[in-house]
Structure 1
Amino acid sequence: MELTGTILQGESFEPVEGRVVVEDGEIAAIEETAVDSDDVILPAFVNAHTHIGDSIAKEAGGGLTLEELVAPPDGLKHRLLRQADREELVEGMVRSIDFMASTGTGAFVEFREGGLAGVEVIEDALAGSPLEAVVLGRETVEAMEAADGFGASGANDADFARERNATERAGKIFGIHAGEVDATDINPALDLDPDFLVHMVHAEELHLDRVADSGTPVVVCPRSNVVTDVGLPPLADLLERTTVALGTDNVMTNSPSMFREMEFAAKLFDVTAEEVLRMATINGASVGGLDCGVVETGREARLLVLDGDSDNLAGAQDLVRAVVRRAGASDVKRVVLSGKA
């Protein structure tokens, strides 16, 4: 397979005219040469934090607080998940997975509610999908053992030391929400030596220093934070100190569109388009332990092709800025996921 156009190459997304050669699901070559194509070739997105189980409850709970919406065990989300039957849950997740794939997401990191049964449900939803999913089980060690790791709700909800130790022994990923409602759970979360943190809205200087010292990556979800009215993460400060990735959080409250998340972040925070695109690609891949998120020889071929001559993108003077701040689902021409289009 050959893709031609302007390639946003490497971690700096340097625009290069040429072709990308894909063989056996891998980027075999990047050739700089004149081509007759207006396409823009970039890494497929990595959505670094999702909860797609609540696809059955889109826009439910308007006006509720974060705790009323999603706090375990009796937040609205958890009540609705318990009430839904398995077929309904699988169908809702399939539709969100298909939406992500069609809008340029090549992989995602999922915090999967429901213990072992919840992990089994998302496995059914992923059957036959080309999307790569890093599924982190919740609530039980058994869920972690059946999944790719453990996704903890927050250090104020439970101790999680047992789950953290079991996850480490299994050689799997441990992520935890921290600093979403307030700062009180950040230090206890960092004490668990997690592989990454989610949110960090209320991170203070002490926490930022600890993140820098430990090198702990952070996933931010700014649209979700606005919807739940908890504030916004100190994104520029986090970027100075650690790897920062981007996620869309609950499908209940936000579309799992990385285009929307990138535009929101780019226009709200004092950060560069290149930083935002890294958050949506290579940094998310790093959080999930994935070999994608960048157009480089030898990498897994999870690629997004945009129509650079669409009514929306034609005339763009800065392609990276246009991709981050302007592009959308209607500009998607092709999504290549490990050699499959």
Structure 2
Amino acid sequence: MHLDGTVLRGPSFEPVEGRVVIDGGEIVSIEEMETTSDDIILPAFVNAHTHLGDSIAKEAGGDLSLEELVAPPDGLKHRLLREASRDELIEGIRRSLQFMESTGTGTCLEFREGGVEGVRMFREAAEYSDLQSLILGRETIDAMQIADGFGASGANDADFETERTATGEAGKLFGIHAGEVDSSDINAALDLDPEFVVHMVHPDPVHLQRIDDSEVPIVVCPRSNIVTGVGRPPIAELAERTTLALGTDNVMTNSPSMFREMAFTAKLFDLSARDVLRMATVNGARIADLDRGLVEEGRPAKLLVLDGNSDNLTGAQDIVRAVVRRAGPADVKRLVL
């Protein structure tokens, strides 16, 4: 099969008029040629941090603090998760996965509550989804063993040494929240040598130096941080030191739309469109050691096709900027997974 249009090629997302040729699920060539197609071809998004189990509680607790919302074991989300039926939880996750596909996401990294049963419910919800979900189990080592890794809540909740050792021995991903509310849990989180850290809103200079030395990747979730009132991550300082990826975080507080996350991030932090698009694609893939997130020969064909002639995108003078700051679900023409 082939896709014609403007191809955002390689790590620079250089707009090239031409054709992407796909065979056996792989990009075999990118041919520069004249085409009548207005389509825009780019990598499918990688949402590097989600909590889709919370899909049963959208916009709940809007006036609560972060601790009141999500702190284990008695934060609002945990109470609502305990009260919901198994069928309700599975259906909520399934609908969020469906929404993510419709908004261009091809891969997500999910921090999944509920132990072993939570992981099983997620897999059941994802059974008919083409989106690749990497599930990081929480709460127990048994959950990690049947998942793709372990997602720790934060170093102030427990030391997680045992879980980190077991995850490493299993050759799986270990991610942890850190620096979301304040800096008190950052050193302990970094001591665990995680594959990645989520949030990092409040690093002190000593933490920035440790991030520089270790180059531990960081997933930032700016919309979530603003909604929960914890502040803004110092993205410019972090980007100088390590790989940054984007996540949409908790479905309670934000839709899992990478279009919204990209536009918000680009405008709030005045980042270049290319930097933000890397955060939403190849950087998230690198965190999970996945060979995707770029339109290049030899890469898996995980692609998003936008209608460049939509009412929203027609007339765009800078295509990459328009994709990041302007595009939305109505512009999605096709998701190739």
If the length of structure 1 is used for normalisation, what is the TM-score?
0.98
Cα RMSD of the aligned pairs, angstroms, is 0.6
Give, in whole Å, the separation in 2 of the partners of 1:193 and 1:174.
Answer: 9
Corresponding residue number in structure 1 for 2:171: 171
Give, in whole Å, the separation in 1 of the partners of 2:90 and 2:294.
Answer: 31
Residues 134-157 of structure 1, C-alpha deviations (whole Å, 9 max, x = no match): 100000000000000000000000
Q: Is the 8 A contact 1:49 1:110 kept in 2?
A: yes
Q: Is the 8 A contact 1:236 1:270 kept in 2?
A: no
Corresponding residue number in structure 2 for 1:202: 202
Q: Which runs of 5+ in 1 are unaligned?
A: none
Corresponding residue number in structure 1 for 2:121: 121
Corresponding residue number in structure 1 for 2:272: 272
Corresponding residue number in structure 2 for 1:298: 298
Give, as a single letter, the amino acid of the residue that structure 1 aligns with 2:62.
Answer: G
Give, as a single letter, the amino acid of the residue that structure 1 aligns with 2:190.
Answer: L
Residues 73-129 of structure 1, C-alpha deviations (whole Å, 9 max, x = no match): 110000100111111100000000000001100000000001111000000011021
Give, as a single letter, the amino acid of the residue that structure 1 aligns with 2:95.
Answer: R
Give, in whole Å, the separation in 2 of the partners of 1:336 and 1:275.
Answer: 23
Q: 1:270 Cα deviation (Å)? A: 2.8
Give, in whole Å, the separation in 2 of the partners of 1:241 and 1:270.
Answer: 18
If the length of structure 2 is used for normalisation, what is the TM-score?
0.99
Corresponding residue number in structure 1 for 2:220: 220
Give, as a single letter, the amino acid of the residue that structure 1 aligns with 2:336.
Answer: V
Q: Secondary structure at the match of 1:46?
A: strand
Q: Secondary structure at the match of 1:241?
A: coil
Q: Which runs of 5+ in 2 are unaligned?
A: none
Give, in whole Å, the separation in 2 of the partners of 1:241 and 1:162.
Answer: 29
Corresponding residue number in structure 1 for 2:41: 41
Q: Which runs of 4 or more aligned residues in structure 1 lie more than 3 Å from their structure 2 counterparts after TM superposition?
A: none
Q: Is residue 2:234 matched to residue 1:234?
A: yes
Give, in whole Å, the separation in 2 of the partners of 1:106 and 1:291.
Answer: 13
Corresponding residue number in structure 2 for 1:307: 307
Percent of aligned pairs with the same amino acid: 71
Q: Is residue 2:61 matched to residue 1:76?
A: no
Corresponding residue number in structure 2 for 1:324: 324
Give, in whole Å, the separation in 1 of the partners of 2:76 and 2:3.
Answer: 45
Q: Secondary structure at the match of 1:110?
A: strand
Residues 47-67 of structure 1, C-alpha deviations (whole Å, 9 max, x = no match): 000000000000000100000
Q: 1:22 Cα deviation (Å)? A: 1.2
Superposition pairs of residues 226-265 of structure 1, within 5 angstroms = 226-265=226-265
Give, in whole Å, the separation in 1 of the partners of 2:29 and 2:192.
Answer: 41
Q: How many residues align?
A: 337
Q: 1:29 Cα deviation (Å)? A: 1.2
Give, in whole Å, the separation in 1 of the partners of 2:189 and 2:270.
Answer: 27
Q: Secondary structure at the match of 2:93?
A: helix
Q: 1:175 Cα deviation (Å)? A: 0.2
Give, in whole Å, the separation in 2 of the partners of 1:80 and 1:6.
Answer: 45
Give, as a single letter, the amino acid of the residue that structure 1 aligns with 2:199.
Answer: H
Q: 1:290 Cα deviation (Å)? A: 1.5
Give, as a single letter, the amino acid of the residue that structure 2 aligns with 1:42.
Answer: L
Corresponding residue number in structure 2 for 1:2: 2
Give, as a single letter, the amino acid of the residue that structure 1 aligns with 2:291.
Answer: D
Q: Is the 8 A contact 1:65 1:228 kept in 2?
A: yes
Q: 1:307 Cα deviation (Å)? A: 0.6
Give, in whole Å, the separation in 2 of the partners of 1:8 and 1:205.
Answer: 36
Q: Secondary structure at the match of 2:17?
A: strand
